[in-house]
Each structure stands twice: as C-alpha cells, then as structure tokens.
Amino acid sequence: MEKRDLDIICNSSVNWQMYRDKTCLITGATGRIGRYILETLVDIDIRYNLNMRILGLARSETKARNIFGELLDFPNVSFLYQNIITPIDYSGRIDYIFHTAGPAAPIDFKNIPVETLWGHVGGTHNVLECAKEHFAKRIMYISTVEIYGEWKEDRLINETDMGSLQHFNYRACYPEAKRLCETMLASYKKEYGIDFCGVRLSHTLGPGISLDDGRAFAEFMQCALEGKEIVLHSDGSAMRTYTYVADAINAIFLVIEKGESIFYNVAAEKNLISVRELATLIAEMSPSGKTKVVLGEDSKGLPYLPFKLAIMDTEKIQGLGWKPQVEIEQMFKWTMDSFL
C-alpha cells in the first residue's frame, strides 16, 4: 500500500487502541478491500505497539505471497488458506471479523452466478458460526449499493430505502445474496447476540483493481492504457459516484468502532459523474493520447449495473466523522499510474 493511502486511512478520529491485545480476522484478505484492511492493521500494530494477532483468510497462498510478500513472515500475521464456503477451523481467539470475502465482479455474475450466490450466502453463514463459536466482539460486513435495487425517485437513497429488484435473473445472484446476508446478520444478532455493523459501498476503486472484471470504469481504463477507443453501450447518462479505496477503508474503521448495529452508506457524493463524462475523463488520461469515446451497440446481455440512478445519502456516516478526501480526477490518476 502507498504511504499516501495509509495516511488517508489514518487521518481520522479512529481509536486504534481498541485493537490492543486483540485478534482480527479478515476474510477475502487478498481482495482489494481485504488487502487494505490487513495492511492497515499491520501498520497500526507496529506504530502503536498493540500486540495484535492479524489473521487473514484467502484461497490462494501463492496469491497471498505475491501481494503481501515478506509481510506474511511478520510474527503477528498468520493466514488460513481455504474457500470461505468451507467452515472456518481456527482454535485461537477471534475478537473482530472484517468480512469482505465473496465474488463481486460483474464478470463473475455472468460466468459463475451459482458460485457467486453461495460464495456470499455460504461464506457469511460460516463467518457467523465462527463468530458464535469464538464469542467475537463484532463483525464488520461489506455490503453494496446494489441491495437498493432499481431506484427511480429523484432524491438520495437513505439506509432504510429499498427499490425493486428483478430477482428472476442470473445477475440478481449478487444483490439478492447481499440482501440475504444482511438479514442473516440481523437474525444472528437477535437469536445469539452477535454484534455486527456494516457499510454499503458505492463504486470503489484504487490501485490493485482488476481491469478485466466487467466493471465499466475498469474497461474504460484498460482501453485508455492500451490506446484503444472507449465504446459506450448506452447514451452514457447513468449517474454514478466513485469512492477512492483508502477513503472507503477509513469509513470501515470508523463504523466498526463508533457505528450502531446497522448499515452505513459510503459514497463520495462530490464524485458524482455520468458514465459518458467518466469515459471522457479517462480517455484524456490515456498515455498515448489516442483514446476516443465512441457509441456502440446496446448493452443488453452485458453484466453492467442496469440502473440509471443509484446515489446514496451519506449523512449517517458523516455523522461519525467521515469525510472523503480524494476527488475523482485524483483517484483515477493514481489508479492509472499504478498500472504504468
């Protein structure tokens, strides 16, 4: 992780002392969100001498080694290598769980909808059972703006809203699974007293993203890096907000410390932009200067988020002291630079 990203994460009123002598489990530790959480915890453990135990869970030891390198040899870091849909077998103590695991790329919704569905539902079940067994203090769950479904009103979405969602469609494997996982958390709290909190993230990006995962902005960036045309499969009028990954991680740490047992919208509202404007912005960053934006065929059959408007109200998370620090031009420049 870049030092500037760590500074963004730590530039808030988080009480890092809450992790003294504690064990934190991070599922999906080699994913974009999980990686940032784990590296932040390692840094604050060293910085404040917190005597932590940091436990990552990931499927591939090779991938973990490629991402974290010598960090895996730190005495306070250990890993479980397994699929999240397998029960979590760990004999030590677990205090906090950051549950980030589960397929979240649109290309997965199209190619492996069954694995996407059960990766979230089965994985969250295993996390909850693990929390119950280890008497964990709190689970942080990473959810998504997609749980709100199709939003047609001309106002921001708050945390109690719910739009319609066409469930009889393979792409619903992701938002329907995330909805069910939120219900599972509420159910386990009611019956077993397991505390939780969560964030619903808007489009989040930064160094480490995959350029071939089916997200429109990732496709645009790949075209710009290769000097190819960016082809829009719509009129580009859909509005989206984009949040830099370090700002999102900052929000996650604020919520697990200060938040109630509810979900908080996390989106940099000032980074609101149409898909067409975003394509133009990214095209202008092309190293070759050759990338242009052109109109193509309709997006029918492609796994893009199908809704025109899905802008979240972030008053609740701002009430905890969250202020996103990175503007849209900067986040895309830093992300592009990471590939050069």
The answer to whether residues 158 and 265 touch, using CB atoms and an 8 Å cutoff, is yes
Mean pLDDT of the chain: 92
Residues 6+ apart with CB under 8 A from 180: 120, 121
Q: Is residue 331 part of a domain?
A: no
Tens of pLDDT, residues 214-258 = 888 889 999 999 999 999 988 888 888 999 999 999 999 999 999
The whole-angstrom separation of Cα 240 and Cα 187 is 32
Report d(CA 129, CA 20) in Å as an integer.
24
Task: Write the CB contacts of 142 (distance below 8 Å, at least 6 apart in sequence).
Answer: 33, 98, 99, 100, 198, 199, 201, 252
Q: Is 249 inside a domain boundary?
A: yes
How many domains does the chain divide into? 1
Q: Residue 261's closest CA among 306, 303, 199?
A: 199
Interval 173-210: pLDDT, tens: 999 999 999 999 999 999 999 999 999 999 999 987 88
| Domain membership flag for residue 275 | no
Write down the pLDDT at residue 151: 82
| Max Cα–Cα distance, the chain, nearest Å | 59
Per-residue pLDDT at 168: 93
CB 170 within 8 A of CB 114: no
Give dist(CA 329, CA 333) in Å, integer.
6
Whole-number pLDDT of residue 301 = 55
CATH number, domain with residue 154: 3.40.50.720
- Cβ neighbours of residue 332 under 8 Å, at least 6 residues apart? 205, 217, 221, 242, 281, 282, 285
Residue 225 belongs to some domain of the structure: no
Residue of 23, 16, 149, 31 lying closest to 97 (CA atoms)? 23
> How far lies 213's CA from each of 60, 210, 340, in Å?
18, 6, 19
Query: Residue 18: its pLDDT value, please?
Result: 97
Structure token digits, residue 128: 């909850």
Is 147 part of a structural domain of the chain? Answer: yes
- How high is the pLDDT of residue 112? 95
- pLDDT, one tens digit for every residue, the chain (340 residues): 889 999 999 878 899 999 999 999 999 999 999 999 999 999 999 999 999 999 999 999 999 999 999 999 999 999 999 999 999 999 999 999 999 999 988 899 999 999 999 999 999 999 999 999 999 999 999 999 999 988 888 889 999 998 888 899 999 999 999 999 999 999 999 999 999 999 999 999 998 788 888 888 889 999 999 999 999 988 888 888 999 999 999 999 999 999 999 999 999 999 999 999 999 999 999 999 999 999 876 655 554 555 556 789 999 999 999 999 999 999 999 999 988 8
Residue 35, domain extent: 3-207+242-268+312-325
Does residue 287 belong to any structural domain of this protein?
Answer: no
Domain assignment present for residue 321? The answer is: yes
In a domain, 119, yes or no: yes
CA distance 103 to 117: 8
Predicted local confidence at residue 212, as pLDDT: 83
Give the pLDDT of residue 308.
Answer: 59
CB atoms within 10 A of CB 256: 25
